[in-house]
Structure formats: structure tokens, C-alpha cells
Amino acid sequence: MQIVFLFYDGMTALDAIGPHEILCRLPGAKVQRAAQCAGKISTDSAGLMLNAEYCLSEISHADVLVIPGSGSATTLQEYPEILAWVSRIHKTTQWTVSVCTGSLILGAAGLLSGLRATTHWAALDRLLIWGAKPTNSRIVEDGKIMTAAGVSAGIDMALTLAAKISGEKLAQAIQLGIEYDPAPPFDVGSPAKANPVLLEALRGRMVAAFEMLRVDRPSSQI
């Protein structure tokens, strides 16, 4: 099974590393990390670099395509060749999945029109730009596209996907093996649980950061 992760500068590391830790354990998994140009990729975690061993031009097929998001909520519209590649590879996949604002990239690639999808809560309304149906759920499956909410939801998404591909027993074994048993010190992990003052302060900062790169019209080049 060929599992391909899209890497790009500014991506959120955990969006990729969480699912990678799970999906690489599937029987027969061949995991490839591809970027526009092979080499070191800077993430949005200061100083943390990842490595893409393949150029996009070297990848023509994927059974599973994984699209991580970015703290800047990029849609990669400034890189139409990447969006064209995502659209092209999607035609070959059994599953196309995203984590956090990676779903905005799927939208910009023209893959979410008319479909239910989720993303980080602070960017959920931006899915409307691409004709998607924003859905406030941690994991959303519509056809062969599966989207996950913010960052940590990528782990839940990958376990859900593992169960669909290889069965629940294996997925449960992977969860136990990585000791994924969340017990956060604070019960503020979603807007519904957070203190309203904290929520609005964070929302303001995040939306302002997203707005700096906001593009309200799909690219005519895609």
C-alpha cells in the first residue's frame, strides 16, 4: 500500500507526524514523503525541519494521500502546480485525507465541492469558499475523502483510517502500542469547552493570522 504525505514549507509538523506514526504500521505500507522539490522542509514549529525524499514529479499514484495543514492556514494557491498534483493524485487514491487546515488545500484543489468537511475551528467558515459543507466534527468522511479537525485530530483520523483499511483489531493494537490514551491536564480542547474570554482572545489572534493570507476566490488556473 503506497501512502504519500505532501510536505511543504510552513506545514504543521504534528499534522503529518501523528498520522505517520500510525499509518506506517499498516501491513505492507510503503510510506513516501513528497514535496515540490525533494529536500529539507521547514515547519511552523521554530527550527524543526522535516525531509521529503521525493519530488512531486516522481509520484504518480497513491493508495492513501495525506495532506497536512499549516498554522498560516495556507491554501497553496500561490503554487498551482502543487494543487494540480493533489487533484491528479486524488484520482488514483483509495483514500484522500487531510488534517487541520489541510482541508483548505483540498478545497483549493477542487476536491471538496458539495462535500462535508472539517478543519480547525478557527478556519471552519473558509471551507465555504470552496463549495464544501463545513461540519463541526472531529472526523468527517464523505466518499473517499476524510478530513480531520485541528492538529491532534490527525491521530484520531489515522486510527479511524487504519481500522477501515486493516480492521479494528489492528487499529486497536496500534493505539495500544503507541499508548494513545489522552488525559489532558485541562479540559479546554474544543471551543465548546473553553472559557469564552480565552476562546475569543485566541480566535481573534488566529483569524487575524489567517486573514493575512486569505484568498476568497478559487484560482482559475486549477
Catalytic residue list: 100
CA geometry: angle 2, 79, 204, nearest 5 deg: 100
HEC-encoded secondary structure of the chain:
CEEEEECCCCECHHHHHHHHHHHCCCCCCEEEEEECCCEEEEECCCCCEEEECEEHHHCCCCCEEEECCECCCCCCCCCHHHHHHHHHHHCCCCEEEEECCHHHHHHHCCCCCCCEECCCHHHHHHHHHHCCEECCCCEEEECCEEEECCCCHHHHHHHHHHHHHHCHHHHHHHHHHCCCCCCCCCCCCCCCCCCHHHHHHHHHHHHHHHHCCCCCCCCCCC
Residue 173's contacts (CB-CB under 8 Å, 6 or more residues apart) are none
